[in-house]
A and B are shown apart, each in its own frame.
Chain A
Amino acid sequence: MVATRSPSQAKGEELVRDLELPIDPFAIAKGEGIEVVAKRVRGASGMFIRVGDNYVIAYATDIDNVGLQRFSVAHELGHYFLPGHGDHVLDANQVHKSVAQFRSKEPYEIEADQFAVGLLMPTMQFRSALGKMGEGFVAVEELASLCNTSLVATTIRVVTLSPTPMAAVVSGQDEVEYCVMSESFKNLKGLTWLEKRVPLPKRTATYDFVADPSRILRAERAQDTTHLHEWFGTGPDVTLVEEVVGLGRYGKVLTVLSLEDDVDVDELDEDEGLEESWTPRFKR
């Protein structure tokens, strides 16, 4: 299954086609003659400023996470390299006044995020590295270290490109914020989507973990086995490995769900195929 790429992600990948991991967004900015400055004040995670013919990226350093900072710089580079982003500007001398008039932010910000993913974790190099790594959270950590990217961004990328069934859930408080799944996970027979804002399933390691905010803050970890039905309610009868990590000051929890080592994905599909042959179909 080929993962779909947005044009913005493809643009990011094109720029680093001949480079090896880790990609250095600071060096790319420098190569373009763009000045990059650290801003220690709280507020926006990054800003892209044009002054006449000169360009400056200011990125936030108040949160001490190198992966996040590199992603911010890569995101701002997206505003420089992506077509049409020059239209989406505020007059720097009237920022206060302009903010109130600012509209349709989202498409440009989503595009710049896609660009950053393509730039820092380009499909070709990332997939090659992924093939050499282990499974589940081990692979995520190794790749985050290789690419110098944040755990969450790396997890999403690993899951998107993983050839094996794998899902990641980011939770805050006691509910699911969002869930991403690999193509082969989505293809598990009878699986339903895990909706945003649904309560966390109670008989899981993640549920126990979020009950203690100090564990999140200390970036503790936990691991257990769980059942696919616990999380998704439907799908094949299969046990999953559930790996949980606290995301520190970010205040959220990351859960990686993957198959146990000895599960044969092909057999799983065959069993489900048999089951499907005698299960009545219902129109949605």
Chain B
Amino acid sequence: MSPSSDVFPERLKAARALRGLSQSELAKFAKLQASAVSHFETGARKPSLANIRKLADALNVSTDYLLGRSGEVSGAPTADVLFRDIAKLSADDREVIQQVVAAQLAAKKGGAKDGGDT
């Protein structure tokens, strides 16, 4: 299980301090409501993955860092999965997950080599 809800507020504060942004500046860059960053930092509201992605983009840090999955601002990517019907998860499904993860990592590696931003 990800400890994201415990770690996220602290990581968000740290990343914002690193980039020298106020809460309202960050909200503006991430196209979020002005009060959203404050709510996320106090833990009053939980972010969606869509919000986390916007914040990571605006702060130029990795999603993994904000989720507490990596100690570095831009470290090696980790992978998570959510799904319905967990009882129905088959061996074939696990194979699909591994293939998707491998393909995404390969694309990222290729992008990095080319100097592209994936």
Residues on A facing B (Cβ under 8 Å): 32, 37, 39, 41-56, 58, 72, 75-76, 79-93, 95-96, 98-99, 101-102, 105, 108-109, 112
Contact = CB atoms under 8 A, between A and B. Distances in A.
A92 B101 contact: yes
A70 B96 CA distance: 19
B86 A50 contact: no
17 contacts: A32-B50, A39-B93, A43-B90, A45-B84, A49-B80, A51-B104, A52-B78, A55-B49, A76-B82, A84-B5, A85-B48, A86-B2, A86-B49, A90-B1, A90-B80, A91-B80, A93-B79
Contacts of A79: 49, 82
B15 to A, nearest CB: 14
A87 B4 contact: yes
A58 B90 CA distance: 14
Given A56-B100, A89-B81, A96-B94, A82 B48 contact: yes
Do most interface residues of chain B lie in helix, strand or loop, or is the interface mixed? Answer: helix
Contacts of B83: 44, 46-48, 76
B47 A52 contact: no
B108 to A, nearest CB: 6
Contacts of B90: 41-44
Interface in B44-99: 45-53, 56, 62-64, 67, 77-86, 88-90, 92-98
A49 B63 CA distance: 13
A92 B96 contact: no
B34 to A, nearest CB: 17
B79 A87 contact: no
Nearest to A11: B48
The 6 closest A-B pairs by CB, nearest first: A52-B77, A43-B90, A41-B92, A92-B79, A51-B104, A89-B80
